[in-house]
Amino acid sequence: MKAIISLCLALCLLMGCASIETTRAFNGLRSGDSQIVEHINGNTWGVYLFSCIPLFVPYKEGLVDTDTTVNMVTREARRLNYTKVTDLQSSIQSDPLELTFYILWINSCQVSANACK
């Protein structure tokens, strides 16, 4: 039992991630009135104690929450020289790591938007 908990805690040290992905692959279709559109998807996730105390979160980005992830997506849109984002969608989720008897939780947030000029 001690070994399982030690292994879970060791794996938790490797957790906490933030990623951003973009695409322009719309198969020749246009999105609304905008000529140039890029879809941006941002994800953040980390390990929390009892789902509310952050243990391992994305270092650069901060906490796993909607504000952090929206900021990540809009910053990427600005970096790519877009002036607006549309169709902003967000999803936040919290799941327990069952081997830790619901002490450790993985919180994740996903935000997606279309960036246009």
Counting the structural domains of the chain, the total is: 1
**Residues 116 and 37: beta-carbon distance below 8 Å:** yes
Domain that holds residue 14: 2-116
Model confidence, pTM:
0.79
Alpha-carbon dihedral sign for residues 45, 47, 51, 54: negative
Q: In tens digits, what is the pLDDT along the chain, a chain of 117 residues?
A: 667 766 665 555 555 688 898 888 777 766 666 666 899 999 999 989 998 888 888 767 778 999 999 999 999 999 999 999 999 999 999 999 888 888 999 999 999 999 988
Q: Are 61 and 68 in contact (CB under 8 A)?
A: yes
Are the C-beta atoms of 105 and 50 separated by less than 8 Å? yes
Which amino acid, one-letter code, is at 77? A
List the structure tokens of 77: 């849109």
